[in-house]
């Protein structure tokens, strides 16, 4: 193998690895936003993982700034709730007012922390999570 062929093979391998990493990162961003939108739409926290597996997110794109297509995710969540309304918490059983007081943590959330949260934690901290993603969208 000549030096040129070797360099070309290394370049192709690096490009493939970078593309795979980008695809994986995009999937994590889409899933995180899907969690936020699902909880905001009223999907029960204890059914969140099930709902996420049922969502068709195959058409959701991530833009050049790393932001997922929120409208497409909301559309997917709405379609799921239309098909399986049992996933949604009954009216009146959702949290409100002082239930969202948060907790002792006053530091800003990170996407990594959000990804590690359990569905119950996400439900309790939904206002903070929504604020985090709203701030990211405004930075564009």
Contact criterion met (CB below 8 Å) for 68 and 33: yes
Structure tokens at 27: 């999937």
What is the structure's pLDDT at 130?
Answer: 82
Confidence at residue 13, expressed as pLDDT on a 0 to 100 scale: 93
- Report pLDDT for 8: 92
Give me the residue label for tokens 């029960």. 44
What pLDDT is stored for residue 106 in this prediction? 53
Residue 114 confidence (pLDDT): 86
Q: How far apart are CA 31 and CA 125, in angstroms?
A: 17
**pLDDT attached to residue 125:** 87
Residues 79-114 as b or e (16 or more Cβ within 10 Å = b): ebbeeeeebbbeeeeeeeeeeeeeeeeeeebebebb
**CA neighbor of 109 nearest in space, from 127, 136, 123, 128:** 128
List the chain domain ranges.
30-138
Backbone angles phi, psi at 115, to 5 degrees: -65, -30
pLDDT in tens, the chain (140 residues): 899 999 999 999 999 999 999 999 999 999 999 999 999 999 988 899 999 999 999 999 999 888 999 999 999 999 999 999 988 876 544 444 444 444 444 577 888 888 888 888 888 888 888 888 878 777 75
**Among 139, 1, 137, CA closest to 69:** 137
d(CA 56, CA 85): 16
Residue 57 has what pLDDT?
93
């Amino acid at each position: 193998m000549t030096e040129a062929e070797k360099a070309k093979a290394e370049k192709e391998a690096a490009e493939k690895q970078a593309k795979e990493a980008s695809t994986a990162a995009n999937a994590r961003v889409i899933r995180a936003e899907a969690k936020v939108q699902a909880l905001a739409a009223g999907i029960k926290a204890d059914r969140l993982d099930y709902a996420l597996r049922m969502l068709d997110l195959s058409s959701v794109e991530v833009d050049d700034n790393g932001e997922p297509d929120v409208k497409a995710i909301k559309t997917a969540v709405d379609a799921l709730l239309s098909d399986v309304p049992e996933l949604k918490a009954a009216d009146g059983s959702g949290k409100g007012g002082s239930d969202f007081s948060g907790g002792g943590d006053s530091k800003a959330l990170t996407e990594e922390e959000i990804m590690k949260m359990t569905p119950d934690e996400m439900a309790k901290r939904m206002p903070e999570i929504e604020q985090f993603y709203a701030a990211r969208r405004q930075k564009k």
